[in-house]
Amino acid sequence: MKPRSVGAGSSGEGSPEHLAAMETNVFTALPNLTAHCAITRYDNGSPRRPGWFTVKTQGSAWVIQLKEPDSALQMTCHGQTLDDALSLAELLLGADSAPWEPDPFLKRTLGGKGNK
């Protein structure tokens, strides 16, 4: 996993790459989404606070909201089906130029740098 920005993580050097189990049958086709929620170190070895996502509906659309605490960013993915929204989230998490937006709540509560 590459850093989205330089952030202050909570894990120290020598800590495990992930704490939660990465094995999944349901999310096999969504490795970026699984890594977003579990990986505790960036590719360069610096610590990373794992992100998370929420699933909801908005009218007839499915909405996946992704949170990136180290950089105080969020991204929202919409789809006509849950599979569409999850696939879009997977695709964007693997992209270098994903449409991340500042998340003022994360910046206030988690001390994310918000520089992206």
Q: Which whole number is the average pLDDT over 101-105?
A: 94
User: pTM of the prediction?
Assistant: 0.78
Let me know how many helices (H) and strands (E) the chain has, helices first: 3, 4
CA dist 50 → 33, 59, 78, 101, 114 (Å): 11, 29, 22, 17, 15
- Per-residue pLDDT reduced to its tens digit, 71-94: 999 999 999 999 999 999 999 999
Q: Are 27 and 89 in contact (CB under 8 A)?
A: no
CA dist 71 → 25, 79, 83, 107 (Å): 30, 25, 27, 8
